Chains A and B, each alone.
Chain A
Amino acid sequence: MRAWPILVLALAFSIVIAACAGHDWATPADLLRAIAGAAADLRSRLLVEWRIPRVLAAALVGALLGLGGTVFQGVFRNPLAEPYLLGSAGGAALGATVALLVPLAAPQSFILPVLAFAGAWGATMLVIGISRVSGAVDAAGMLLAGVAVAAILGALRSFLMLALSDETVSLQIVLSWVLGGVQTPSWPVLGLLAVISAACLALTMRLAGRLDLLGLGETMAIAFGLNVNRFVALAVLAGSVVVAAAVAFGGLVAFVGLASPHIARWLVGPLHRPLLPASALVGAIVVTLADAIARAALPPAEIPLGLVTAVAGGPFFILLLARRLRT
Chain B
Amino acid sequence: MTAIAADKLVVRRNGALLLDGLSLSLGPTGSVAVIGPNGAGKSTLLKVLAGIDKPTSGTVRIGDRDLASFSNAARAATLGYLPQYFDPHWDLTVAELVRLGAERSHRATAGAIEQATEHFELTTLGQRRWSTLSGGERARVLLATVLVVDPPVLLADEPAASLDIRHRLDVIRTLTRRGGDRLSVVVVHDLDLAFTFFERVIVVDRGRIVADGPAKNLIEDRRIDAAFAVDFDRLKTPDGWLLRAAPHGS
Contacts and interface: CB of A to CB of B under 8 A. Distances in A.
B76 A217 contact: no
Given A222-B52, A226-B72, A77 B101 contact: no
Q: Which of B73, B76, B86 has the most CB of A within 10 A?
A: B76
Interface residues of B, number: 27
A223 B96 contact: no
Contacts of A222: 51-52
Contacts of A4: none
A220 B87 CA distance: 10
Contacts of B92: 215, 269-271
A205 to B, nearest CB: 15
Contacts of B75: 225
Contacts of A270: 90-92
A163 B50 CA distance: 57
Q: For the side of the interface on A, what is the size category?
A: 20 to 34
B104 to A, nearest CB: 5
A217 B73 contact: no
Interface in A1-42: none
A158 interface: no
B50 A217 contact: no
A77 B73 CA distance: 23
Q: Which of A212, A222, A223, A270 has the most CB of B within 10 A?
A: A223
A217 B86 CA distance: 8
A220 B82 CA distance: 8
B88 interface: yes
B29 interface: no
A213 B83 contact: no
Interface string A302-320: 0000000000000000000
Contacts of B100: 212-213, 216, 224
B168 to A, nearest CB: 21
Q: Give the secondary structure class of A's interface.
A: loop
A227 interface: yes
Contacts of B79: 223
A202 B245 CA distance: 61
A225 B104 contact: yes
Contacts, number: 61
Nearest to A225: B76
A219 B76 CA distance: 12
Interface string B33-64: 00000000000000100111000000000000
B96 A269 contact: yes
Interface string A180-214: 00000000000000000000000000000100110
A215 B90 contact: yes
A223 B73 contact: no
Contact of A227 (B50, B72, B83): B72
A215 B96 contact: no
A142 B95 CA distance: 32
Contacts of B77: 225
Interface in A228-278: 265, 269-271
A77 B92 CA distance: 13
Given A223-B52, A225-B76, A227-B72, A269 B89 contact: no
Given A215-B89, A223-B52, A224-B104, 12 more contacts: A77-B89, A209-B103, A213-B104, A219-B83, A222-B52, A223-B76, A223-B83, A223-B146, A224-B76, A224-B100, A269-B93, A270-B92
Interface of A: 77-78, 209, 212-213, 215-217, 219-220, 222-227, 265, 269-271
11 contacts: A77-B90, A78-B89, A223-B50, A223-B52, A223-B79, A223-B80, A224-B104, A225-B73, A269-B92, A270-B90, A270-B91
Leading 10 A-B pairs by shortest Cβ distance: A225-B76, A270-B90, A223-B81, A77-B89, A225-B72, A224-B104, A215-B90, A215-B89, A225-B73, A222-B52
